[in-house]
Amino acid sequence: MMRSVSRNRLAVVGGVILVLLAVAAVCAPWVSPHDPLQVSLPEALQGPSTVHPLGTDQLGRDVLSRLIYGARISLVIGFIAVGISVVVGTAVGALAGFYGGWVDAVLMRLVDTMLSIPTIFLLLAVIALVGPSIQLIMVVIGLTSWMGVARLVRAELLSLKEREFVLAARVLGASSARLILKHLLPNAMAPVLVSATLGVGGAILTESVLSYLGLGVQPPTPSWGNILNEGRVALGVAWWLTLSPGLCIFVTVLAFNLLGEGIRERLSRSDT
């Protein structure tokens, strides 16, 4: 798969961007030029310079350092939220697709109900009631984005469970759990992988929206969304405060989409 995906130049570009971003996030204490929490009021709202390549914010904190540390928050939230959505969606889709009948009907009506609720309003309501925190944001995003994965897994299992290798396993006495875990799910995870890759970008974008609205990661912890929110009030005099985090969000989401599209094309060729 890696060799095939590497022939897609756009997917390679997306993968390289994500690797560089991950390395910067992991090595933030060593690659960050300044302490992201260090306040220096005399240096407030300074434009890009050799000392501060992306300028400073209202409290004189280095924007580049805050963006590098903010990448940690965004990537962790994205991966964990997608991990939760994949686990929940795979479990629901597997049960619905394997057992069918009333189990399928009940679970799919649950999926339809969740899809009918505007996700952003549900997120805002839950966070407003419980209070914003990084852990809550990851869980809430994950628990409101599993429906697409459930539908994908269900569709795959409806097709796979009638194939010869599953019938042979039934004849040999395999239990339902073994059929699902050992035979069906491993063959149904290809589209889930594509969906998860694209979902990470969506989760990062959702976290950024919540932080921009003040209901996500709370200051002084840096995240791309709250850096963007802080720059909104000084947009007329400090354009770099909104441009820098906006570009980070745009490039990261685009990179995940390019990588996911490359994987999807590879899997489409293997199916044909």
CB burial string 39-51: b at 16+ within 10 A, e below: eeeebeebeeeee
Cα–Cα distance for residue pair 229/210, rounded to 1 Å: 10
**Cis ω before 220 (30° cut-off from 0):** yes
Single-letter amino acid, residue 123: L
Mean pLDDT of 195-223: 82
Structure confidence by residue, pLDDT tens digits, 222-264:
888 888 888 887 777 888 888 888 898 888 888 888 888 777 7
Token pair for residue 267?
A: 């899997």
Query: 52 in helix, strand or coil?
Result: coil
The one-character DSSP state at 43 is: G
Cα–Cα distance for residue pair 132/18, rounded to 1 Å: 27
DSSP per-residue letters across 166-202: HHHHHHTT--HHHIIIIIIHHHHHHHHHHHHHHHHHH
Mean pLDDT of 207-217: 80
Does domain 2-25+62-271 fall under CATH 1.10.3720.10? My reply is yes
- Sign of the alpha-carbon dihedral angle for 165, 170, 174, 175: positive
Structure confidence by residue, pLDDT tens digits, 115-131:
888 777 888 888 778 87
**pLDDT score recorded for residue 217:** 79
Per-domain residue ranges of the chain:
2-25+62-271
Cβ proximity of 37 and 220 under 8 Å: yes
